[in-house]
Amino acid sequence: MPFRNTPDRFGFLARLFHWLIFLLLIGSFTLAWTMHDLPLSLLKLQMYSWHKWVGATVFLVVILRLGWRLTNPVPAAPAGTPGWQRLAAGLSHFLLYAILIVMPLTGWIMSSMKNLPLVYLGVIPIPSPFGKNEQWAEILEEVHETLGLLLLILIGVHVLAALYHHVILRDNVLRRMLPWPARLKSPGTET
């Protein structure tokens, strides 16, 4: 199993980052939806802490993944991919990275401005240069939630594009990022 990307497949580390971020996002969104409607309690406060920890972890993993991507070329698009699809793929990946970086930052700043500091994993205090400011905290809360909705839309587009490549175009775009060996065949292809 190659550690680095090859011309035909993402390497182990790129796939690990991809699927780890995916799992962290499932946890983060599950916590966000659950904690939002809970009455004020110790459970709600603990869930907010977990949500912040997951968000900080997403931020760290995305930075590592982006660094790896910049130093380890990704597999090329399949031959014959139209220019508009290459442009759309590039734009959607840029937006995914941007949101995955900005969204945790807005959560951290918002939390700081609500005077609810981030103590990563309950052990490591993350200092903030921002003082308490309820007005800005409310604005950042809206930005944070809007970015969450945009992220869900982009993830949906990302998944649909991968399925389009696999089911309609029958190329290797989906298979090259699967966490297991790329034995999955596109529908209607020979074994």
- 112 backbone dihedrals φ, ψ, rounded to 5°: -60, -40
* Assigned domain for 1 exists: no
* Assigned domain for 120 exists: yes
The CATH number linked to 25 is 1.20.950
Whether the predicted pLDDT of 189 surpasses 60 = no
Mean pLDDT in residue range 71-85: 92
Q: What is the DSSP letter of 169?
A: I
The answer to whether residues 50 and 31 touch, using CB atoms and an 8 Å cutoff, is yes
Chain segment 137-171, per-residue pLDDT in tens: 999 999 999 999 999 999 999 999 999 999 999 99
* Assigned domain for 38 exists: yes
Total of domains in the chain: 1
* Assigned domain for 68 exists: yes
Q: What is the DSSP letter of 73?
A: P
Chain segment 9-44, per-residue pLDDT in tens: 999 999 999 999 999 999 999 999 999 899 999 999
* Assigned domain for 2 exists: no
pLDDT at res. 171: 92
One-letter identity of residue 148:
G
Cα separation, 135 vs 114, whole angstroms = 9
The strand pairing partners of 124, in sequence order, are: 120
* Assigned domain for 6 exists: no
One-letter identity of residue 62:
V
pLDDT at res. 151: 98
Structural domain span for residue 118: 12-177
* Assigned domain for 154 exists: yes
pLDDT at res. 184: 53
